[in-house]
Structure 1
Amino acid sequence: MAALILGGAAIGGSPIFVRLSEAGPMATAFWRVALALIPLVAWSQLRNGTAGDRSPKGLSDFIALALPGVFLAVDLGAWHLALTMTSVANATLLANLAPVFLTLAGWALFRSAVSGIFVAGLATAIAGVVVLKGGPAALGGGDLAGDGIAIVAAAFYAGYILAIGRLRSRFSTNRIMIWSTASAAVCMLPMALLTEQALLPLTAFGWAMLFGLAFVSHAGGQVAITYALAFLPPAFSSLTLLLQPVVAALLAWVLLSEPVGIMQAIGGAIVLAGILIARRG
């Protein structure tokens, strides 16, 4: 639980790095996963493998290890694209609907039990995100196509969490992260080359933002979440990640001087209450 919360908080800082990045949105998404391979591979070499971890055997294992990265690449690409097509409030809110898709997928594909208490907590947390973003009135300025792409991002992030959760009983955290991150980088590179005029930032500050995004939000946040998925159900884990917009709002207040009003404070409290309700379910 502690790892899950820390991972959600680390990923919650990613909008700050993206906002301050000098590279374009797709290029920033590529460097996020490409640079994250540095600490992941270094840690793997220092440990000389993981006790109890088994090597992939056969094509099916390699596909299963690469699949989360494909989901993650589409999620990142769709979310960054949605930010350019619709309002920030719409894109952020709709991209955080992953718990809805994950709960439905777990029930439809694996017949996972869904209690009424969990559904109540899910609805409460989503309502908190709506309040956090300024209430329903703040969600009317988005473009319909951009809104749809943000929903696609949420669906693919749900697929990423579900795929990671299915792998955690068979492979170590580090092995899963290296494979999924590498496959995400391979998928993101052509997307960045086709949509961006330049891939590289111009200053040391720009590189610092990319390294911060890769090391803190991805290598740190995603590793913590992957570790937690060995012990917690994917549906509940994705719900806890609704902490991300709360953390993003607080960091924007501290680092970017974006004010946090009463509506944002109430929304954050509702999100936390929804998570506590769902935990009981």
Structure 2
Amino acid sequence: MPELPEVEALRGFLGERVVGEVVEKVYAVGVHALKTYEPGVAVLEGRRVDEVGRFGKFLGLRAGDVWLVMHLARGGWVRWSDAVPEAPPRPGKGPLALRVRLAGGAGFDVTEAGTQKRLAVHMVRDPAEVPGIARLGPDPLAAAFTPEVFAGLLAGERRQIKGVLRDQSVIAGIGNAYSDEILHAARMSPFLLAANLTPEQVARLYELIGTTLRDAVERSRGLPLRDLKAEKKSGLRVHGRKGEPCPVCGDTVREVSYRDSALQYCPTCQTGGKPLADRRMSRLLK
């Protein structure tokens, strides 16, 4: 699933190529992805793109007074082409959900792999009309996200820190992968209760949220879109690396599986050498 660093890279990539260009044609191939119908996507045609923005894990293009807002979910992606076919794409069961062709012939496809169709496309006058954006917490890369703001978000929070970091209404943009990476860098168990963190732990976690995300953004900057997924994977130290040695201590990276996701962690670095029980509300095994 694309998270803040990847969506920020997509924002930068598209911003360099589409801002100032006129949209010639928009094809909504995957009707399932459309979450709004008024205005329709055709309202973009003939308009000049003014900006490309990011809202947490949402990507948006503004043309005049309308926004095309996309959430790529688990299997979505953006594919750029310097020469988009002029012929309309054929509707079908393939991965193509949306095609945007610019007046100069270039453009991009929005695709979704897999059978679970969760990609969401919205046409709105204001990004805040998108429910997922309206409920977003502060952006961790924004200047307003200060240590004091972060400490306030955790105060009284009785949930596990892993879940808090992933909650988009608390902090915008962090998902399963980067929450694993942040907690590994902070040497914290994903099952620690957020409200029980010491001031020193809160300060360390705040610092590592910023450095982890900014480092990932810098690694992705300027890369072709086709290389962004591989870059994300290559930069991860524990997430998705079950059974591999931890690059810090050499212990075996372990996993806790849930119904539709999994987390990875290093016992030596994060839980005092004790494995976590593989069930949702587990506590450390004794």
Say yes or no: TM over 0.5. Answer: no
Greater RCO (Cα-Cα under 8 Å, separation 6 or more): 1
Q: What TM-score does the superposition give when structure 1 sets the normalisation length?
A: 0.25
Q: What TM-score does the superposition give when structure 2 sets the normalisation length?
A: 0.25
Q: Which has the larger radius of gyration?
A: 2
